[in-house]
Amino acid sequence: MTRQLLRITTAGSVDDGKSTLIGRLLHDTDSLPLDHLEAVTDEEGVADLAALSDGLRAEREQGITIDVAYRFFSTANRSYILADTPGHERYTRNMFTGASNAHVATLLVDARAGVLRQTRRHARIAKLLGIEHFVAAVNKIDLVDFDKARFAEVEADLRQLADRLGAAELTVIPIAAKLGDNVVTKSTNTSWYDGPTLLEYFEGVELSAPHPESKNLRLAVQWVSRPTTEERRRYTGRLSAGTLRVGDPVLSLPAGTTSTVTALDTLDDDRAVAVAPLSVSIELADDIDVGRGDVFVSGATEGDAAVLPVLARELDATVCWFIETPLRAGDRVALKHGARTVRATVQALHSRLDPETLDDLDQPVELGLNDIGSVTLRTSSVVVADEYATNRDNGAFILIDETSNDTVGAGTITEAREVKPGEQARHDIRWHPSSLDRDYRWGRTGQRGATIWFTGLPASGKSTLAVAVERALVEAGQVAYLLDGDNIRHGLSDDLGFSAGDRAENIRRVGHLTRLFADAGVVALASLVSPLKSDREIARALNDAAKLPFIEVYVSTPRTECEKRDPKGLYARARAGELKGLTGVDAPYEPPEGADLVLDTTGADIDQLVSQVVELLNQRR
């Protein structure tokens, strides 16, 4: 029979006795190696229980917990992992880490001091992280002479706190960790208390697998391997929800490709069905394009249809901020969600939690060190997300400073939204036409604006042609400006990668820019691979809506010729397996079906090609 594992986090203010409590649990459950116990026992045979879990030298010297210390113990019924998290406010982020995967939150409260600011903060973080089981240990009850009235006062404050947080369950236990009262064994000093001991409470907590139905499958891919050349690819990760067995249909997101599981391995050779939170390795019937950070979900379409996550570009989230430099609207950070890392921009700060009152303060200017607040984040590419209340693993993330690579925050998703570039109507703002009539502007400047969009494979010659057209127009006394794809990614789109979603967003931004340039009377030239027809149509639609000339030039140089040129070495790297997602090699290019002009630069006279582009421009304006 498999033993259940219960994860516990302890939290409280400084000197509430967390480390001593953990030491008592380890000691009284016979979970300590003899040499470890001897190392913290003085000449009189008295063990320093706190030192059993304070592992850092700085912790022992200062008498406080700094880092998260994980300790393991077991009983006849189950195994335990207990996280001793810091009580000091400066180390709130470590408490966040320790509570992130816990089943039970143990709040330590000094019977003399009662509920403090840090008690409220830690309780709020535990609730934020989806912990459903709360137990409050009113420690040092011996220092108030095991007074029932004092215990009742503290218990009333704790229950009021639980009501404010909406905690479904709270058990309050009077303990004396140093002496062992009501920790593992019942105390004779609290005859007025008839509830469980702390260990009895832990033993009675009921656990179940998260969403144990196949339709809720979530398997984030952490590693892709091929053990031998004769075997198919293996996709390895940990189930965060659902079940999986051989024969199950699966859907890979965000790509949307489907296949069927043909082999399933877990650490248990006899297991036919994998359930969360087991780690698994699977084989599929098809060699589909799946990489680290992708997510397998159920591919069932009939009967008990799959419950799918959101392919999100916008996240409403609750964030705990870890560093002294404040978080403000407009800041950009890296967002790590599972095994996938994307760039994110803070769209808005909605509220900040007051740790004293637990009230939400609306419209904060910033989030400072250890602040908890609700924010909206816009990601550079798709995040396969669930709400945290539904799936703790797939609804959580951390925020990383891109310069220092430090973890600067952590958050939980309250709502995930799909955002399709160019298709989101804005109701809070409206377009302001220029006070100058377009015809008047163009008449006074003597030039009419337009957009020329060059598309084609990498190394097809589109940038060379665009540069030559720009020079020809300027030498003819016209105002023209080339928006080169690489230059755009150095500034306007430096937050974007090269996924399908990022490419679409880059083209949307450039499309809006060409529209503004053309409206001002400038000939805007855009040179981008822009491989998908749907993306190019966004740029055309933006200009067509403004009644501005838009000329699509398809540079149709064959791929073989492009590979011969390969000025940046991209094709060579792609063929060697060093570069993934290169258009024309392992990413598609959709040739325009109705391009305004089709030009092949293979052996062509560049001046003749320029003349064709300029002639068409003059006809359209």
Annotated catalytic residue: which of 252, 259, 530, 556? 530
Instruction: Tell me the Cα Rg of the chain.
Output: 31
Helices 533-545 and 500-519: crossing angle, nearest 10°?
A: 20
Spatial distance between the Cα atoms of 493 and 491, rounded to a whole number of angstroms: 6
Q: How many CA atoms lie within 13 A of 517 on its CB side?
A: 20
Spatial distance between the Cα atoms of 353 and 364, rounded to a whole number of angstroms: 10
Is 545 buried (19+), middle (13-18) or exposed (0-12) by CB count in 10 A? exposed
The H-or-E segment that residue 541 falls in is helix 533-545
Instruction: Find out whether 42 and 30 touch, Cβ atoms under 8 Å.
Output: no
The H-or-E segment that residue 502 falls in is helix 500-519
3-class secondary-structure state, position 446: coil
Instruction: Find out whether 431 and 598 touch, Cβ atoms under 8 Å.
Output: no
208 is catalytic: no
Q: Which amino acid is at 170?
A: L
Spatial distance between the Cα atoms of 510 and 496, rounded to a whole number of angstroms: 13
Spatial distance between the Cα atoms of 251 and 306, rounded to a whole number of angstroms: 10
Query: DSSP assignment of 124-182, as one string?
Result: HHHHHTT--EEEEEEE-GGGGTT-HHHHHHHHHHHHHHHHHHT-SEEEEEE-BTTTTBT
- For residue 437, give the DSSP letter: -
Q: How many CA atoms lie within 13 A of 116 on its CB side?
A: 18
Give 3-state DSSP helix, strand, coil % of the chain, rounded to 5: 30, 30, 40
Q: Which amino acid is at 403?
A: T
Positions marked active-site: 530
